[in-house]
Chains A and B, each alone.
Chain A
Amino acid sequence: MSFREKSAWISMLSMSGIYGLYFWSVIHAGPRAGGFHFGGLLETIIALVVVQIVLTTAVAIFTPREAKAPRDERDKLIELRAMRVAYAGLATSVALACFFGAFNPPIVFNTNSLLFILVTAEIMRSACQIIQYRRGA
């Protein structure tokens, strides 16, 4: 498994786990809790950054040569394809949000819903990268 693939695994698992906990706490708190918890989100982002730095550093220590090597043409192609899939998911979700917002009374997506769309797109990007690395390209 290449360093880039390991990085994609770290990104997907850490985002799924840490944002999963955040969204679980938001759902658990219920709509009366105010919906958006900036403090909770800040803690989540800090936890995500710390976990990703620690895990990526650990992987880089064990495979220093691969970690130092720049992305090659296959890495770039995989990244572009994954970005295209994630963008399609993101654009579709935002279009749906606009559609539901046009109702009267509008079904407005709150900040957490938009954050969920963004996080899901990012997880999709990492998942697509992993699938392509597993396939070969």
Chain B
Amino acid sequence: MGAIRNEIRRLRFEHGEMTQQELAEKIKVTRQTVNAIEQGKYSPSLEAAFRISAVFGKPLESVFHYSQEE
């Protein structure tokens, strides 16, 4: 079973301490969904993942990492 990890928390901090609510509004999801993604409890759709990457101006692989071992 693989696991998707992400750098969203760090990237938010680096982008003027962007709040979860601000990010949620930019990618058109709820704040609770951003929180679930950030904690690795929910894997976003490919479209949402691309939107998150676009907000931070980073390639997808810089925001999300996939590891095959949990």
Contacts and interface: CB of A to CB of B under 8 A. Distances in A.
Whether both chains belong to one complex is answered with yes
Interface string B44-67: 110010000000000000000000
Interface residues of B, number: 14
Interface stretch (A14-22, A68-76, A103-111, A121-129): A68-76
Given A136-B36, A137-B36, A72 B42 contact: no
B32 interface: yes
B29 A136 contact: no
Contact of B29 (A1, A72, A133, A135): A72
Contacts, number: 35
B28 A74 contact: no
Instruction: Among A4, A74, A137, find the residue whose CB has the most chain B CB atoms closer than 10 A.
Output: A74
A73 B44 contact: yes
Interface residues of A, number: 14
A92 interface: no
Contacts of A5: 32
Interface of A: 1-2, 4-5, 66, 69, 72-75, 133, 135-137
